[in-house]
Structure 1
Amino acid sequence: DKLKKDVEVIGASAITEELELDRRKGLEIARKMGFAIPESHEFKTFKEGMNFLKGRKELWVFKPCDNKEFTYVEKFPGELIARMQNDSGDKCEYLLQKKIKGTEISTEVWIGKQGPKSFNHTIESKTLMDADLGQALGSQSSTVWIKSRDGLLTAELTRMANYLSKEGYIGPCDANCIIADKPYFLEWTPRFGYDALYCLLSLVKGKLSDFFTKGFGVDFYDGYAASQRLSIPPYPYGTPKLRTLYAKDVSIMGGLKDYPLFWAQ
């Protein structure tokens, strides 16, 4: 924010950092922008969450309030209770959010000095291996295409763009949602999103630099762009020691019937 007094800054600010890292704040702003929110409950210890989950048949998602740790999506009822049992006395502020069955899709607006300039969609795979198996990552693969200024979530993101513009923000703002009977908001990504950014830039017609120097108001190719992250061990762990510590001899919870995408592939 201090740099903005002298130079144009794209994709970074105190207000957008708060939106992403403070889940309470992010949900509050999403409601004001007109997004539907899945049923959510806040807890301060694992014991509180375990008591809430007992006997429930629906699936729930564990989300730390500070968004500094990975979320976890139950694969079968009771899985989160089993994972919390060893830490039942620990204090940890988090949300339990009811899992919505549907298609997860990100919708992004690029905000110039005069408000929204362009929109795009991303469908993303977040797990290391096929069929939603393996460690959850920020992104394993992405498919991106340009959307029109009409239709899905345009009104909500236009309101968000105008809100951030008043705060002096320039850059991208992405709303990650589950599409079921209607879009349900999950979280904000008001910054460059990896690896979707590379896909988006490959759709730019003309010079790559034009996208940034012309305030994101450029022409794009039709169709879509896709990315696939290639890696070698010990990724996604920083060292072989960490991989052994976190991944070796991990119990497989549930049964293969709880992993329908495994059988589909």
Structure 2
Amino acid sequence: MNHPRSLAYGVTPSRPGTLHARSVTGGLAVAPRPGATIRFGRGGEPEVDLCVGEDDLRVSRRHGELSYHDRQWWLRNTGQQLLRLPRGRMMHTSTEPYPLATGYTPLFVRGSGPREHLVELYVTHHGDEGMVARHAAITVPPRRWPLEEDERLVLVVLGQRYLLYETEPRPLSYREAAAELACVRPAEKWSRRRIEHKVEAVRHRLSKGGDFPHPVVREREGAGPSDHTLLHNLLRGLVDSTTLVPPDLELIEDGFTG
């Protein structure tokens, strides 16, 4: 086993391709050398290089590994529980190794009951100073998308359960939204078709921009996710980015109060 060099994670600049890994119990960094390997799991040294979920018997002693070859770091699941990557991607022991992109990747190890154990991964790139502490730097705001006033109103009505941060929210149907808008803005004659048209306009505009985090239009007619799933993706992306926020619910509440 290659034993990586431990360090106070996040304060040391490093060469491009260096992998930084951190759990709640410690951190380490490994230079991009062919054959370099990091093993993580519940076991201690020398069984693993990074301890994860040390008190959780659902976590395997050797739950996963990261190895460097073909000029890239590759993640593999070697444990009994699933690994979870961003955007809901799951890895089983039968899953092909996953290539890590440069930058930050959070990795979650399934544990007992609802527990998940976080492993933070960071691969440096050219011109990158690594995970250097930047206490006084200005905070970078989330990417938000502009919406017209009536688009925001429609999306707030459709996505009110998302703005209440329910556990598994689903959008209102267009028919339900039309009925609610008839109460909130009775003079504006909101129909199901008008609502659908507004949503389609937003979906296509955001998809054309190329930087929305979820698919919101079909790649070709008749193929891909359903309209309901695409609407869910749209609302999830707008709420997660704080383009839509809980105070927007006042658009509905003020209408009902009036």
TM-score, reference length from structure 1:
0.24
Greater RCO, CA 8 A, separation 6+:
1
TM-score, reference length from structure 2:
0.25
Structure with more strand by fraction? 1
